[in-house]
Structure 1
Amino acid sequence: AVPAGPTAAEAAASAVNSQLAPYGAGWIPALSKEETEVSFRYFPKAAKAAQAARPPQAAPAKAAPVAAAAAKPYIGPRPKIITRKGWGADEKLREKGFVYTKSIKAAFVHHTATGNNYTCSQAPSVLRGIYRYHVKSSGWRDFGYNFAVDKCGNIYEGRAGGVAKPVLGAHTLGFNTNSMGVAVIGTYSKSNPPAAVLTAVAKLTAWKLGLHGVNPTSTTYLTSGGGNLYKKGTKVKLRTISGHRDGFATECPGARLYGKLATARTSSAKYQGRL
């Protein structure tokens, strides 16, 4: 018997990450900061935004072109990311094709409000359950979050469309446009998130926000699409790393995780080379 090849949906989900990992890979390998900056050429629009975000520096007129060419973007080293293939996402569940937003101006941190007693080898199974719930019960086109993080600090690709691309998620009602959602597996209302979680969130945001020239310790403006906290059309000032509750009236991402976001912001900025 000849083994069946990948379905069209499986092939598409893998192909969008082809610049980052071999076709069908179970994970996207980590890169050093220097390697990440070299690979940055694959994202010319993001590179332009990152370059524009750097403060102007005085330099002699003759040296200006050289300084501009040598300037490096504020972008953190790319972390290892387990792909949808790696955690066993059933590509038949989601809708065909991918939907993108224009940019990534902010990251919203969530918790999944599931149990904390899972082993990290069980995390893929937890993600598969959430994925099925989002599609079958909530009626969403795909997994809602753009990324997930388990308590051991493993980072997972969420909604399909390419981890380096501005994929439109379904994570923060009213603020899914020009943002990304990162869900930490577990419940952190009364339990402190492990240090590995905060490190993973910091590394992920340092890289992904860095692709779009965003400072993890700054603020930005997003226009509400309508929700239970801000009316549609309201221009809202938000931290570039915010909690779910900042854009929607909810306890998410849990008081203990929310209270640690300041630490994640500072660490993320350090990974970018800003501090």
Structure 2
Amino acid sequence: MTTDANLTPARLLARLRDTAPLVHCITNYVAMNIAANTVLAAGASPAMVHAPEESGEFAALAGALTINIGTLSSEWVRGMKAAAQSANQAHKPWVLDPVAHFATAFRRTTTTDLLELRPTIIRGNASEIIALGGGKSAGQGVDSGDPVELAEDAARTLAQTRNTVVAVTGAVDFVTDGTREVRIFGGSDQMPKITAMGCSLTAVVGAFVAVAPNAPFDATVAALATFAAAGAIAEKEATGPGTFAWHFLDALYGLDANSLETKSRIETLS
């Protein structure tokens, strides 16, 4: 994994807007519309393709692939595996969102199989990352019951053992590749009150890594910083979760490199 001092969140956002990469999103029924609109607002082009008959072929065409296991079925799992295998063969980055992977045997098995296909980036909430690292989490369903700071050690270990970038998202986000680490501040406490915000963030991570495939750590940081900045802007205008949802899309769409430069709040740890 490489890094480049020039790959700041602002510069990567500008690159994304200039190139509008195609992002292959296999996500859940609840998130599909919201995630597609969020990727569009960020400046990329989403494609919600999941059928096993075409997902492998499509993954090779896209700039990046994202896989979210929120609403599993055997058919979709076959599509996920075909897409991940094809992305690897085509040297395209892909992102895994292991939603509530600890809840059922089907989810555990699916996640184990997908991890063996070497995701470039893993994004989850604190409970998901703790459990993925073999710890005991307080998660309930798709909701995190743990603060991000309790998941940092699990994220480091997971990043090192799986040779991947791990993003733990919550009130303060944490990103590590096993060597480098940052915390990202911002966002809004309205975000957990709206379904599919995390799923949409995974899709946006895919958009950013599509324009920086050789720098997944920097791309992940840029995606999370962009999302957090848009959330902070939207919070100022919203009166509740309903108005926040559409203010967020507008804020993300209106965010440019200059404003992101001033609004990003990133703490480098190592």
> Is the TM value for this pair above 0.5?
no
Instruction: Choose between structure 1 and 2: higher helix proportion.
Output: 2
Q: TM-score range by the shorter chain?
A: under 0.3
Q: Mark the structure with the bigger radius of gyration.
A: 1
For normalisation by structure 1, the TM-score amounts to 0.25
